[in-house]
Structure 1
Amino acid sequence: MLAFPPDSRFISAEKIEDICYQRLADQVPTPFYAYSASQIRADFSALKNSLPDDIHYFYSLKANPNKALVRLLNQAGTGCEVCSLAELETVLSQGVEPQDIIFVGPGKYIAELTQCCRIGIKAVVIESIEEMKLLNDIAASMGVIQTIALRINPDFIGEKAKLVMSGKPRQFGIDEQLLPQAFSCVGQQSHLRLAGIHIYLGTRILDWQALAKNTLNILSLAESLQNTYKIHFDFVDVGGGFGVRYFDKEKALDIDSLGDALADIIRTYHENFPRCKIIVELGRYLIARAGVFVTRVNYLKPSRDEWFAVCDGGANCHGSAAGINSLIRRNFPMARLGETRSDQQYRYQVTGPLCTPTDLLGENVMLAELRPGDLIGIGHSGAYGASASPVNFLGFGHPAEILVEKDQAFLIRTADNIETLLAPQICQPLSVANA
């Protein structure tokens, strides 16, 4: 298991920034997520310093939609990529300008598309010809012209991606073979303006050479399309998929080497299309290292020849650490939090409170000796934590979230309670009788 936590400048097993975890736990009941504001800024700054200056960054809210984190990243210089009406309203509430918003997703519905047209976002990313026609009808009814980008499902496949999202039948994007029909259809939609293309090949890529090759393939396709259809794109969204090192034997992404490779690729592309902007959309890479999931040991119990640390937060709060939807179960960086009592370590099975054997946060984890009441931290938990977990399973609800900066801490999401969990459950008659 990797040391806790790797690649984090402002987080240790003793404290997050200048605050000890126990001080946070004295104020906010466990389990909770704690995020380092300084780590977020440092990771984004390092990325910008390593990659070419003319790349524009968009934060993917799917990684973590908390409003405070959205505001922090937008103030640091990112745009926002959203996938739902709730995410769109989130970014608007935090002062993100419409021209810094793109809307993606294969199943956009009328209310979402209508709001996009109403505020005039940078681009609606079209994922099918049917969606294109629907958006044009909506824009026409409102008397506006909406900017779009075509999401393409290319013939080539993203290299070294943990989750491949192109090159085969997918709900995402328009197949490359259908592009003649798509470009013809765009020309028939009087209330849409084509501004660019979007291609997302895959996620969790740790090989800089693979990322460089993926970008080269995307820009080559963009150049071919512009030459074929005699158009000039405002931008090309080359996706992202930059990986974060979670597990043993994984090597951190070499962003300096990636930056050198991208500089040559983008320079060559800009020789023919100097005004076309290059967009990279990132979620995990911008936010994962900054987060720690903090859970408390309720009980220590032996079973056969093993010791179980049963905690108050488990797979319901951190499905990724529990390996939900993963083919192979591996341990995230983990540690007992607080001052060191002894250098000796013991082997534990770290579980949550759920009535299922899949609620296993750490398997055969070597940790400092645990006692009931101790805090355990799971590192690299800023992305796809509670938002990608079954938080309502067994009625536990969403955990609290805290943002830490130096010696200050801010509660940025309250934990669910019995009242908030039961409030949406009603018995209201519906008018469904036959006329």
Structure 2
Amino acid sequence: MTVEFQVQGVPVSELARRYGTPLFVYDGTALRDRFHGLRDRLHPAMEIFYSLKANPNISICALLHSFGARAEVSSLVELATALRAGVPPQQVIFLGPGKSRQELAACLDSGIHAVVCESIPEVALVDELARERGVKAPVALRVNPRFAVKRSGLAMGGKPRQFGIDEEELFATTDLVKRFPDVDLMGVHVYMGTRILHEAVIVENTTRILDLAERLSAALNLELRMVDVGGGLGVSYFDGESDLDAQVLTDGLNPVIEDFTARHPGTRLIMELGRYLTAEAGTYVMGVRYTKTSMGERFAVADGGTHHHMAAVGIGSFVKRNFPMAVLNRLDEPATEEWNVTGPLCTPGDTIGKKVPLPPVRPGDLIGVHRSGAYGPTASPGLFLSHGYPAEVLVHEGRCHLVRERDSPEDLLQRQRLYDPTAHDAADVPH
């Protein structure tokens, strides 16, 4: 009997039949277990904020919020998504290096907990917007520290970066509170890096960030009501990597948090998690259209590819390594061959897996890319060849929910306008 991949008892072939391929499938139980696996061990003073950039689907956000997650957003649409998903404004923070005036105004108008400012000019703009509204704007300062992260997949601080204000600049600018009277400087944010798979590194980073926050608070006369320690908790994708042990991690973190809260009982502590919460719960499912051999190598040409899952081709990595992949409709068959798994795009770069060990692949098979719940459609060129974005399905408590419809040709064309050389619409003429 053939063994088939299932999500909460629903066979993948049934999901493909009902919703088509390619599609992303999310397991609600895996999301819950991942969240509570950390939340139940982590010091209660440390709040978990879900980073929507990892997977901005509104249902994913709503489900994680139902488990207890707050929201960290970085765009106007992510802010709207979090609020529509039911996250209260006081459980939302907004960060990012290039916020628009419209985004900052929306933050103040919606009453979120904090705007994380990444430059002094941004603080000045928030001060101006707050004065126009007659409010005090809650602002946390993102700091680019002197120290650098170790063993990170992608460093976000400790080097010349567009992110944050250099530590030296902040310590030299001690009049910030007086200079911006309509800004409530209430916190510090530091995000060192991402994809960290070593518990001791996360503990060390957190310790140093909390120390930096205390020193900045004293130097700037800043009331420390919030410290965001970033996160960067990694997920293993490749051979030789291991997932973080939540118990080992929290055994190291909790004493550090306890020591800090004893000195600052009124300070809200925040950890941002995106990939860590969602990656494991997602599978990208592709249907094989054709198989062929070219110059001695096998190719499985699928209906999905890098236009939906650019992360799987190693963007941000110096070495191309394959995400975990399988023939989902024949899990019990041994991987006896090597296959290049490619998509429908007109570029040799549309290779989502190179020399992947798989059983003999046939047209009609379903190939899955596991650990695909983060940085799928949100980090991919979905409009390449005008394919659009795939369907997204959440399976929760044994029931399937279509949480994003597949783009149709009409969806992709409706916002375009056909040029008419006979038309003379003055409203279309730029001034």
Answer yes or no: same fold by TM over 0.5.
yes
SS at match of 1:244: coil
Unaligned ranges ≥5, structure 1: 1-11
Distance (whole Å) between structure 2 residues aligned to residue 193 and residue 340 of structure 1: 56
Which residue matches 1:353? 344
Which of 384, 390, 394 in structure 1 is aligned with 2:385? 394
Unaligned ranges ≥5, structure 2: 420-424
What's the CA shift for 1:433? 6.2
Which residue matches 2:6? 15
Which of 120, 128, 147 in structure 1 is aligned with 2:119? 128
After superposition, give the CA deviation of every residue in 1:98-142 in whole Å (9 maximum; x if it has no partner): 100100011111111111111111000011110111111111111
After superposition, give the CA deviation of every residue in 1:205-251 in whole Å (9 maximum; x if it has no partner): 00001111000110111121223344431111000000001000011
Which residue matches 1:335? 326
C-alpha contact 1:34 1:291 (8 A) present in aligned 2? yes
Specify whether residues 282 and 340 from structure 1 end up closer, same or farther in structure 2 by C-alpha distance, changes over 3 A only.
Answer: closer
C-alpha contact 1:164 1:201 (8 A) present in aligned 2? yes
Q: Percent identity?
A: 44
- Does residue 256 of structure 2 align to residue 257 of structure 1? no
What does 1:29-428 correspond to in 2, within 5 Å?
29-180=20-171, 182-340=173-331, 342-343=333-334, 345-427=336-418
Specify whether residues 354 and 146 from structure 1 end up closer, same or farther in structure 2 by C-alpha distance, changes over 3 A only.
Answer: same
Distance (whole Å) between structure 1 residues aligned to residue 359 and residue 241 of structure 2: 24
Specify whether residues 289 and 433 from structure 1 end up closer, same or farther in structure 2 by C-alpha distance, changes over 3 A only.
Answer: closer
Matched letter for residue 117 of structure 2: I
Distance (whole Å) between structure 2 residues aligned to residue 301 and residue 46 of structure 1: 44
Specify whether residues 418 and 183 from structure 1 end up closer, same or farther in structure 2 by C-alpha distance, changes over 3 A only.
Answer: farther
Distance (whole Å) between structure 2 residues aligned to residue 430 and residue 98 of structure 1: 41
Which residue matches 1:9? none
SS at match of 1:194: strand
SS at match of 1:116: helix
Matched letter for residue 258 of structure 1: L
What's the CA shift for 1:273? 1.4
Distance (whole Å) between structure 2 residues aligned to residue 22 and residue 430 of structure 1: 54
After superposition, give the CA deviation of every residue in 1:391-431 in whole Å (9 maximum; x if it has no partner): 11011110110000243101000111111111111147565
What's the CA shift for 1:176? 0.6
After superposition, give the CA deviation of every residue in 1:60-90 in whole Å (9 maximum; x if it has no partner): 0000000000100111111101101011111
Distance (whole Å) between structure 1 residues aligned to residue 429 and residue 415 of structure 2: 24
C-alpha contact 1:15 1:338 (8 A) present in aligned 2? no
What's the CA shift for 1:370? 1.5
Specify whether residues 196 and 340 from structure 1 end up closer, same or farther in structure 2 by C-alpha distance, changes over 3 A only.
Answer: closer
C-alpha contact 1:199 1:238 (8 A) present in aligned 2? yes
What's the CA shift for 1:366? 1.1
SS at match of 1:416: coil
Specify whether residues 408 and 273 from structure 1 end up closer, same or farther in structure 2 by C-alpha distance, changes over 3 A only.
Answer: same
Distance (whole Å) between structure 2 residues aligned to residue 391 and residue 114 of structure 1: 30
Specify whether residues 13 and 323 from structure 1 end up closer, same or farther in structure 2 by C-alpha distance, changes over 3 A only.
Answer: farther
SS at match of 2:98: coil
> Number of residue pairs matched?
424
- Select between 199-208 and 163-172 the one with higher mean Cα deviation: 163-172
Matched letter for residue 287 of structure 2: R
C-alpha contact 1:19 1:406 (8 A) present in aligned 2? no
After superposition, give the CA deviation of every residue in 1:278-313 in whole Å (9 maximum; x if it has no partner): 210010000000000000000000111111000000
Distance (whole Å) between structure 2 residues aligned to residue 344 and residue 83 of structure 1: 42
What's the CA shift for 1:368? 2.0
TM-score, normalization by structure 2: 0.95
Which residue matches 1:7? none
Q: CA RMSD in A?
A: 1.7
- Select between 423-432 and 385-394 the one with higher mean Cα deviation: 423-432
Distance (whole Å) between structure 2 residues aligned to residue 92 and residue 186 of structure 1: 30
What's the CA shift for 1:355? 1.1
Matched letter for residue 148 of structure 1: V
Distance (whole Å) between structure 1 residues aligned to residue 305 and residue 330 of structure 2: 23
What's the CA shift for 1:277? 2.2
Distance (whole Å) between structure 2 residues aligned to residue 114 and residue 155 of structure 1: 31
What's the CA shift for 1:349? 0.8
- Select between 205-214 and 250-259 the one with higher mean Cα deviation: 250-259
Specify whether residues 328 and 344 from structure 1 end up closer, same or farther in structure 2 by C-alpha distance, changes over 3 A only.
Answer: closer
C-alpha contact 1:239 1:281 (8 A) present in aligned 2? yes
What's the CA shift for 1:323? 2.3
After superposition, give the CA deviation of every residue in 1:166-218 in whole Å (9 maximum; x if it has no partner): 11111111111111455412322222111110000000000001111000110
